[in-house]
C-alpha cells in the first residue's frame, strides 16, 4: 500500500479520490495486478461511470505547487476541486471576464493575439489582486484558527470566465489546437501578472509579505517578497457569470439557446422567453440569414443544445460548438492547457456521451494525469438517473420466513403533526398520522415544494412503503435505521448536518418528531401545550440543489434535467457543478 492514498468515503456521494503518482503509474503499467492499484481503481472508475462521483485528485501534482510546504502537505480540495487547501485554510475568489478584452476593430487578417487588449487585461489583473488582498485584510473570520491561517498564507484565487465567448469572437473552435494555445497564453499571462502585482503590493505599497514567507517554497534572500502565497485558480463562476452575461469559467457553452425567466406578469406568473447566445445570433445575421430562419435555428439549439443538424455555413458550425460537440479528450487537453500557468487548480467538467464505457472513464483519468492536471471530474450524459443499489440481505439460516401480514385499517379521521425539513430537492413537508390511544405512528405523508415529478414520485413510494410497514406493526425506529445515512450524488448542508439524500432528509424529519415526542409527550404536541419551536426546531429555506426530473433526450443525445428551482430551465453540468441559465440557480 505504500506510495498511494485512496480515500473512499461513500458510494455515490460527492467525494473525490486522492492518489499519488505511484498509484496512477501502477495503473498505467501493464501487468500490475496488485489490489492496491487494480481493485481500488476499478471501484473508483465504476462509481464515476455510474453517477459522475467520485472525482480524482492527483496529490503529488498538487503538492509540487504547494507554495507553503512549511505549513503542511495537501490532502484534499473543496468539493469543486479548484482549491487545494491546508487545514483551516480559506480562499477568496474573483473572476475576470475574458470576453471583455476582445478588440472588435482589429484588422481582418490580424492574428488572434492582436485581437486581445493585453494592456487592459494586465491592468484588470493588477486591480483584482489588490481587491482580493484587501478582502483578506478586512474579512471577519468565523474562528481564530481560520483567521491566523489566512494571515499566514494570504491566499487568493484569481480566475476567469467568458472564455468560450472570447473564442466565439476570435473565430476559434473550442477544442482545437489553437484554442489550447489561447488557454495557455491567458493562463501564463494571468499568473505572471498576478505575481508582479503581489510583489508590487510589498515593494511599492509597503505591505508585509504573507506570514509564512520566510519558510515558503519561493523564498530566498534574492527573491522579491510577495504579499500572497497563492494567486490563481479557475473556480466555478455559477451565478456570477450569469450576472455578468458571459459564459462560465473556461467551459464551452452547455447550449446555444436557453429559456430565461425574465419577469413576472400582472398575476405574478413567471414569464419565460427563449434567448439565443448573442455572439451566435450576431454571426448568423452577418452571414445574411433572415430573422425568421434565425428563430427556427434558435428553436433547434433550444431543443438539441447544438446546431450540428442545422443548414448553416460550415465555418459557423465549426466555431459555435457546445459541450456535447467537444470530444472528451479535447475537454481534458483544455483543462491541462489552463493548468500550465495556474498555481492552484482548475474546476472543469469532462462531459462524456451517454454510451461511454467505464474504460472511457479510465482513459480520461489517465490522460488527465499524464497531461499534468491536478484533478478530474467526469459527467456521463444521463448518469444521474442511475442510483446506487444495495444487495438484499440474506435471511439468517435456521429462521422461518414470516407469513402474510395484514395491515391495520385506519379510520377516516386521524390527528397528525407536520414537520418541515431541508433536503437536496428543496423543502420537504412531512405529516405523521398517529393513533392517540396507543400513541403509535400509523401513516407518513411527505411532499416537496419544487422537487419535480420524479423526486415527488420517489418520495411518495417511500412514504407508502413506510406507512404499510407501520400499519403492519413495524416500529418507526427500525424504519429510520434503514433510511438514515443513505447517500446520493446530491447533498445539501443544514444545521442538522449534511442531508445526504431524499431518504436521509425524511429520516431527519422523523427523528425531529421522535425527539419532540420523547421530550414533551405526544399529547402535549397534539394539544399545543409544548413549545413547538423548541420541540422541533426550525429549518431555513433551502435553495434546492438537485435535479427534479428528466425532460426527454434532446441535446443530441443529452439528457435534460429540469431545474428544481424554477422548473422552466435545464441544468447545465459544467465547472464541476450544476446550474440553471434560466433562473440563476447554482448547486455550488
Q: How far apart are CA 359 and CA 372, in angstroms?
A: 20
Structural Rg of the chain based on CA atoms: 27
Q: How far apart are CA 242 and CA 254, in angstroms?
A: 13
Contacts of residues 296-300 at CB distance under 8 Å and 24 or more positions apart, as own/partner, are 298/256, 298/257, 298/274, 299/257, 299/274
Known catalytic residue at 78: yes
Nearest to 549 by CA among 473, 477, 448: 448
Main-chain dihedrals φ then ψ at residue 9, nearest 5 degrees: -110, 5
Known catalytic residue at 80: yes
Q: How many CA atoms, within 13 angstroms, populate the side-chain half-sphere of residue 372?
A: 14
Q: Who contacts 43 (Cβ-Cβ below 8 Å, separation ≥6)?
A: 8
Give me the count of residues in the chain: 588
State which H helix or E strand residue 40 sits in. helix 38-51
Q: How far apart are CA 392 and CA 409, in angstroms?
A: 29
Q: How many CA atoms, within 13 angstroms, populate the side-chain half-sphere of residue 123?
A: 6
Q: Among residues 11, 82, 330, 441, which one is catalytic?
A: 82
- Quick one: how far is CA 428 from the chain centroid? 22
Grid coordinates of 477: 425506529
Q: How far apart are CA 150 and CA 141, in angstroms?
A: 9
Location of C-alpha cell 450576431 = 282
Q: Who contacts 368 (Cβ-Cβ below 8 Å, separation ≥6)?
A: 56, 58, 332, 335, 336, 350, 375, 376
In terms of C-beta density within 10 A (0-12 exposed, 13-18 middle, 19 or more buried), how is residue 338 classed? Answer: buried
Contact 155, 89 (CB under 8 A): yes
The answer to whether the bond into 54 is cis (omega within 30° of 0) is yes
55-58 β-sheet, strand order:
16-19, 55-58, 375-380, 349-352
Q: Among residues 27, 51, 80, 456, which one is catalytic?
A: 80
| Positive/negative CA dihedral, 26, 383, 569, 584 | negative
555 SS3 class = coil
Contact 563, 548 (CB under 8 A): yes
Q: Among residues 51, 78, 351, 427, which one is catalytic?
A: 78
What residues are annotated to the active site?
A: 78, 80, 82
Amino acid at each position: 500500500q505504500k506510495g498511494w492514498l485512496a480515500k473512499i468515503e461513500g458510494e455515490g456521494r460527492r467525494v473525490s479520490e486522492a492518489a499519488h503518482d505511484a498509484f496512477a503509474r501502477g495503473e498505467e503499467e501493464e501487468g500490475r495486478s496488485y489490489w492496491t492499484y487494480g481493485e481500488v481503481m476499478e471501484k473508483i472508475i465504476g462509481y464515476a461511470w455510474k453517477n459522475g462521483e467520485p472525482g480524482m485528485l492527483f496529490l503529488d501534482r498538487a503538492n509540487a505547487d504547494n507554495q507553503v510546504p512549511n505549513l503542511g502537505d495537501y490532502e484534499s480540495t473543496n468539493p469543486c476541486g479548484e482549491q487545494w487547501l491546508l487545514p483551516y485554510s480559506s480562499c477568496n475568489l474573483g473572476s475576470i471576464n475574458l470576453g471583455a478584452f476582445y478588440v472588435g476593430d482589429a484588422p481582418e487578417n490580424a492574428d488572434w493575439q492582436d485581437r486581445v487588449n493585453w494592456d487592459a487585461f494586465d491592468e484588470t489583473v493588477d486591480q483584482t489582486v489588490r481587491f482580493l488582498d484587501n478582502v483578506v485584510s478586512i474579512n471577519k473570520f468565523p474562528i481564530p484558527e481560520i483567521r491566523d491561517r489566512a494571515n499566514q498564507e494570504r491566499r487568493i484565487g484569481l480566475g476567469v470566465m467568458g472564455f468560450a465567448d472570447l473564442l466565439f469572437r476570435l473565430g476559434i473552435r473550442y477544442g482545437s489546437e489553437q484554442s489550447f494555445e489561447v488557454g495557455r497564453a491567458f493562463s501564463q499571462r494571468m499568473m505572471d501578472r498576478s505575481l508582479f502585482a503581489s510583489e508590487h503590493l510589498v515593494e511599492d505599497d509597503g505591505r508585509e509579505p504573507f506570514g509564512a514567507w520566510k519558510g515558503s517554497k519561493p523564498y530566498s534572500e534574492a527573491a522579491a517578497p510577495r504579499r500572497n502565497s497563492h494567486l490563481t485558480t479557475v473556480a466555478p463562476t455559477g451565478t456570477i457569470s450569469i450576472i455578468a452575461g458571459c459564459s462560465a469559467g473556461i467551459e464551452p457553452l452547455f447550449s446555444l439557446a436557453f429559456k430565461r425567466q425574465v419577469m413576472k406578469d400582472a398575476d405574478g406568473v413567471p414569464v419565460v422567453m427563449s434567448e439565443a447566445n448573442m455572439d451566435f445570433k450576431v454571426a448568423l445575421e452577418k452571414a445574411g440569414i433572415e430573422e425568421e430562419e434565425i428563430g427556427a435555428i434558435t428553436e433547434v439549439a433550444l431543443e438539441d443544445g447544438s446546431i450540428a443538424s442545422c443548414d448553416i455555413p460550415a465555418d459557423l458550425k465549426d466555431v459555435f460548438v457546445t459541450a456535447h460537440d467537444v470530444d472528451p479528450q479535447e475537454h481534458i487537453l483544455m483543462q491541462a492547457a489552463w493548468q500550465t500557468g495556474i498555481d492552484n487548480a482548475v474546476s472543469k467538467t469532462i462531459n462524456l456521451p451517454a454510451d461511454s464505457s467505464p474504460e472511457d472513464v479510465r482513459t480520461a483519468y489517465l490522460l488527465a494525469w499524464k497531461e499534468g492536471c491536478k484533478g478530474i471530474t467526469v459527467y456521463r450524459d444521463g448518469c444521474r438517473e442511475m442510483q446506487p443499489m444495495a444487495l438484499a440481505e440474506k435471511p439468517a439460516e435456521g429462521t422461518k420466513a414470516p407469513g402474510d401480514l395484514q395491515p391495520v385499517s385506519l379510520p377516516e379521521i386521524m390527528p397528525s403533526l407536520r414537520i418541515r425539513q431541508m433536503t437536496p430537492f428543496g423543502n420537504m413537508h412531512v405529516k405523521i398520522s398517529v393513533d392517540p390511544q396507543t400513541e403509535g405512528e400509523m401513516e407518513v405523508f411527505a411532499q416537496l415544494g419544487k422537487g419535480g415529478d420524479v423526486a415527488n414520485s420517489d418520495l411518495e413510494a417511500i412514504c407508502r412503503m413506510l406507512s404499510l410497514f407501520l400499519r403492519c406493526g413495524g416500529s418507526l425506529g427500525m424504519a429510520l435505521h434503514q433510511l438514515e445515512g443513505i447517500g446520493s450524488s446530491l447533498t445539501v448542508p443544514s444545521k442538522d448536518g449534511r442531508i445526504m439524500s431524499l431518504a436521509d432528509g425524511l429520516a431527519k424529519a422523523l427523528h425531529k418528531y421522535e425527539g419532540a415526542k420523547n421530550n414533551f409527550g405526544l399529547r402535549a404536541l397534539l394539544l399545543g401545550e409544548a413549545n413547538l419551536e423548541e420541540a422541533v426546531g426550525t429549518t431555513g429555506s433551502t435553495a434546492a440543489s438537485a435535479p427534479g426530473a428528466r425532460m426527454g433526450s434532446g441535446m443530441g443525445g443529452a439528457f435534460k434535467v429540469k431545474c428544481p428551482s424554477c422548473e422552466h430551465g435545464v441544468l447545465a453540468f459544467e465547472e464541476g457543478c450544476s446550474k440553471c441559465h434560466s433562473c440563476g440557480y447554482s448547486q455550488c
